[in-house]
Chains A and B, each alone.
Chain A
């Protein structure tokens, strides 16, 4: 009797752990919020993780058909990137807002990532994070970008699951873990 009670509680705990962790499905849309080089890093990581994805740093809401099950938004504001894309930050905010709202309407899950460390923090990048994180089911960041606890506090406030990794390369393992669980 005692043994079966113990097994029952173990099962409950295991189920609770799995229930807390989001699972994600493919295909994936990878886009940028701020046009930094981080989105290209994510493209490389997703390739290594063997995800089925579309990469479009300027993806607009009308791209969100039923083909996509998950969006990965890589946050990082870059004036060079915005200039190269021929847009300003207001246009970028509008694009991201429409994308996120459409994703919510269509039930597409959102992962927000900040993987370029401290050098890609700043007022504009933080504003983009504050815009995107409330829509996220999972937030992935590198430790170097969270020295001041910005993402910890933001995810606490928005009650979002936060994964912190030490290196950008380690994001590959996180992708493999969460997408494998979803397949």
Chain B
């Protein structure tokens, strides 16, 4: 082997080691508003995450008056962008008057570090992540569009079969899917540790309700669905009926007994929190679609999907008083007329 080739190989090895060992978590262009009272790291709830690609920012919006504690998750799958844009509205615009809202906009921050041109077999065609660029009130901005699963470079090689803590088995690549590994393991792989940290957050912050924001293909059975842990199905039914009066049609479903690892199932089963998952229809998740994200679409524009997430979450929050005896009160919720076009929609953000 020639000396230059040896140097090159050494350099690549050093870079790879650096990516894995001395990672700084991916940072995002989030511009917190007056409602944010504290910013933490997910590793504050599970030290082992510190210095890994799985660490991520945790935004706290605490009201003056005590009330319900709510966790809003997005970016469990970082290509499902409507949830992330919804979470950003809470961080940038909304003020909590009563209760506490905790927002984790990129729940799987490692998944945000890579993109793909293949939705069906993403790891076969890894690329740099994509960025949505737009203009908000304070000028040009960008939001990353990542992937569904943890970056393969950030976690050991996938096993042939992934065995969930319940004993249920999945294909090996699902060991990097945050929404298949809940409730995680304290000493597990990176994705399991992210999950474990989120569960620690729920326990330590005494969270009353967890809502996880997702998207699905437009023809998927899941599109426009509110999935509920069985213990909070009735609250979900009330929300779905209320949303009809806002012209938002959501299907109601309860968690499967057999299909484990999903947030709505495991947060509800392993903690005291009520647990919901909201799905909106994302054209970029249809089969054979090549574009990584969809902003403007005649039926499924981003602003409409974000509005569905926003209103569904708010309506669920409205029922907390009835179901847990503590409420949460928001101020500065954007009005519906801000959700009429992309241009108007992006001006919501700071």
In the assembled complex, which residues on chain A have CB atoms less than 8 Å from the CB atom of B252? 37-38, 40-41, 116
Instruction: Select from chain B the residue with minimum beta-carbon distance to A43.
Output: B234
Tell me whether A20 is interfacial, beta carbon within 8 Å.
Answer: no
Instruction: Select from chain B the residue with minimum beta-carbon distance to A81.
Output: B254
Given contacts A37-B252, A80-B257, contact A167 B240 (CB under 8 A): no
Residues 24-65 of chain A, each 1 if its beta carbon lies under 8 Å from chain B, else 0: 000000000000011011011100000000000000000000
Interface extent on B, as a size class?
20 to 34
Within 8 A of A (CB), among B193-234: 221, 228, 230, 233-234
The answer to whether A40 touches B258, judged by C-beta atoms less than 8 angstroms apart, is no
In the assembled complex, which residues on chain A have CB atoms less than 8 Å from the CB atom of B240? 41, 168
A169 to B: closest C-beta gap in Å:
5
B167 to A: closest C-beta gap in Å:
16
Given contacts A119-B221, A167-B244, contact A43 B237 (CB under 8 A): yes
In the assembled complex, which residues on chain B have CB atoms less than 8 Å from the CB atom of A167? 244
Tell me whether A117 is interfacial, beta carbon within 8 Å.
Answer: yes
Instruction: Select from chain B the residue with minimum beta-carbon distance to A171.
Output: B241
In the assembled complex, which residues on chain B have CB atoms less than 8 Å from the CB atom of A37? 228, 233, 236-237, 252-254
Inter-chain contact total with CB atoms closer than 8 Å: 54
The answer to whether A84 touches B241, judged by C-beta atoms less than 8 angstroms apart, is no
Tell me whether B13 is interfacial, beta carbon within 8 Å.
Answer: no
Tell me whether A107 is interfacial, beta carbon within 8 Å.
Answer: no
Tell me whether B238 is interfacial, beta carbon within 8 Å.
Answer: yes
Give Cα A108 to B241, complex, Å: 29
The answer to whether A44 touches B241, judged by C-beta atoms less than 8 angstroms apart, is yes
In the assembled complex, which residues on chain B have CB atoms less than 8 Å from the CB atom of A173? none
B223 to A: closest C-beta gap in Å:
9
Instruction: Select from chain A the residue with minimum beta-carbon distance to B256.
Output: A80
Main secondary structure of the interface of A (DSSP, over half): helix
In the assembled complex, which residues on chain B have CB atoms less than 8 Å from the CB atom of A182? none
Give Cα A40 to B254, complex, Å: 10
The answer to whether B257 touches A83, judged by C-beta atoms less than 8 angstroms apart, is yes
B289 to A: closest C-beta gap in Å:
22
In the assembled complex, which residues on chain B have CB atoms less than 8 Å from the CB atom of A117? 251
The answer to whether B245 touches A44, judged by C-beta atoms less than 8 angstroms apart, is no
A167 to B: closest C-beta gap in Å:
5
Of B221, B237, B245, B257, which one neighbours A41 at CB under 8 angstroms?
A: B237
A-B contact pairs, 23 of them (CB 8 A): A37-B228, A37-B236, A38-B252, A40-B233, A40-B234, A41-B237, A41-B252, A43-B234, A44-B238, A45-B241, A79-B256, A80-B255, A80-B259, A84-B230, A84-B254, A84-B255, A84-B256, A116-B252, A117-B251, A119-B221, A167-B244, A168-B240, A169-B241
Residues in chain A within 8 A of chain B (CB atoms): 37-38, 40-41, 43-45, 78-81, 83-84, 116-117, 119, 167-169
Listed from nearest, the 6 A-B pairs whose CB atoms lie closest are A80-B256, A37-B252, A83-B257, A84-B257, A44-B237, A41-B237
